[in-house]
Amino acid sequence: MSHDIADAGLAELGQKRIAWADTHMPVLASIRERFAKERPLEGVTVAACLHITTETANLLKTLVAGGASVAACASNPLSTQDDVAAALALEEGIEIYAIKGEDTETYYRHMDAVLDRHPQLTMDDGCDLVSRLHQSRAAQVPEVLAGTEETTTGVIRLRAMQADGALRFPIVAVNDANTKHMFDNRYGTGQSTLDGIVRATNVLLAGKVIVVAGYGYCGKGVSSRAKGMGAQVVVTEVDPLRALEAVMDGFRVEPMIDAAREGDIFITVTGDRDVLRAEHFQVMKDGAILANSGHFDIEIDLPALAALAEGRRREVRPFVEEFVVGEGRRVLVVAEGRLVNLGAAEGHPAAVMDMSFANQALCAEWVLAQRGSLEPRVYDVPADIDTEIARVKLETLGIQIDVLTPEQAEYLSSWTVGT
């Protein structure tokens, strides 16, 4: 079995941490148990391009339990947990190609190694795998039955492919399930982003001005958690509705050029490029900390920052690089402007990835069961899968809810009764 990992000696530690995460992923565990009996993925080769974390390890084990043969690579050069990669390769016998800090050439070599397995199912986080398949390995595309996509950025890229008529197999937008984005994007990103910044810098959040760029589910989560830690939160937006929502949630909303002058910590979660750029770096306070929690490392214009620094840059702590701008102001970039929660911390906690990856496992099963009957386009997660995940998650939390009385159910489906 082939693999490319950083250090085989980390396998035992990885195995322990995977087991720990599993204790917080009861929904996924129940799916794994059923998959082991029913083997719905028997004979299917899955190419997974995901963040290689303890939570992902439990998802991959679930796919294997379901009968799949799995090859996996990282969906970000900095997000791999090397102990987990070692455990997957050596203890679980999963073909894995992922090394934390790999360069771009290695990142794509690893992706190609996974695609060399000629998968029938793709499981992507950010759409790099599907994009590579369509652009560089088009002859292989007809072998693929279907795919799933984990994240907002990936779904946006897939919809662009669909609009261009480029998408050649059906893909389920796992991100868009309620049990994914309402929890993972909000509470997961909210907590893990601050976790990454704190682990890397050890700064006190209380009393700081934290500027959050973007008020989608991720931005909402980051803003509310930052407020909870005692920060003054300023939100920047380009969308009037989201800006209004931020205002009514109690946050100050400003253009970035104004926020840039007062922020102590800047967090980008927009999904777009150059959110922080030269005009902003030029007015920032000495010691400003910049972090990105969007999928790609394009939200902070690092080439522009490097140009302003004119060579005055150095690593001041692991995952923290200092750039000196103008007459001597320091601007600190965390985790190379890559996903700070996975680059400098462990990503979202397992309890929230439980629902995201339950969606992945059930959508893999669903999309394969539909083989031959779906068009090459982006599909929503079926509503019954979404509801069932919420139901089981509540059950595992020991929380009960009310049920409609027959009269209530009838009332909701009637239109004749009014004032």
Q: Which is nearer to ligand ADE, 26 or 263 (CB)?
A: 26
In the complex, the smallest distance separating the C-beta of residue 207 from ligand ADE, rounded to whole angstroms, is: 28
Ranges of beta strands (E only) in 240-328 are 252-253, 265-268, 288-292, 313-317, 320-325
Spatial separation of the C-alpha atoms in residues 36 and 65, rounded to whole Å: 5
Cα 414 to Cα 405, 409, 417, distances in angstroms: 14, 9, 7
Least separation in angstroms between CB 172 and ligand ADE? 17
170 or 294, CB closer to ligand ADE?
A: 294
Q: What is the DSSP secondary-structure string of 333-385? A: EEGGGSBHHHHSS--S-HHHHHHHHHHHHHHHHHHHHTTTS--SSEEEPPHHH
Nearer to ligand ADE, 55 or 237 (CB): 55
C-alpha distance across the termini of the chain, in Å: 70
Cβ nearer to ligand ADE, comparing 56 with 148: 56
Handedness of CA 82, 88, 89, 94 (dihedral sign): negative
- The phi-psi region of residue 109 (left if phi > 0; otherwise alpha if psi is between -120 and 50; otherwise beta) is alpha
Q: Please state the closest distance from residue 80 (CB atom) to ligand ADE, in A.
A: 10
Q: How far is the CB of 345 from ligand ADE (least distance, A)?
A: 9
Strands 209-213 and 171-173: unpaired
182: left (phi over 0), alpha (psi -120 to 50) or beta: alpha
Q: How far is the CB of 192 from ligand ADE (least distance, A)?
A: 6
CB-nearer residue toward ligand ADE: 56 or 62: 56
How near is the Cβ of 358 to ligand ADE at its closest, in Å?
A: 13
Return d(Cα 78, Cα 102) in angstroms, integer.
Answer: 7
Q: Which is nearer to ligand ADE, 40 or 347 (CB)?
A: 347
Closest separation between CB of residue 284 and ligand ADE, Å? 28
Q: Judged by CB, which is closer to ligand ADE: 264, or 297?
A: 297
Q: Which is nearer to ligand ADE, 188 or 263 (CB)?
A: 188
**Cα→Cα distances 248→39, 243, 245, Å:** 49, 9, 5
**Residue 167 vs 352, nearer CB to ligand ADE:** 352
Least distance CB 253 / ligand ADE (angstroms): 27
Closest separation between CB of residue 354 and ligand ADE, Å? 10
Residue ranges in contact with ligand ADE by CB under 6 A: 51, 53, 55-56, 188, 342, 347-348, 353
- Cα 114 from Cα 344, distance rounded (Å): 26
Angle, vertex CA 184, rays to CA 72 and CA 200, nearest 5: 80
Tell me whether residue 218 or residue 265 sits nearer to ligand ADE (CB atom): 218
Which residue number has the CB closest to ligand ADE? Answer: 347
Taking the C-alpha atoms of residue 149 and residue 130, their distance in angstroms, rounded to an integer, is 9
Residue with tokens 């996509």: 149
Nearest 5°: the CA angle 113, 117, 122 is 95
Residues 402 and 405: their CA atoms lie apart, in Å, by 9
Instruction: Quote the least distance from Cβ 278 to ligand ADE, whole Å.
Output: 30
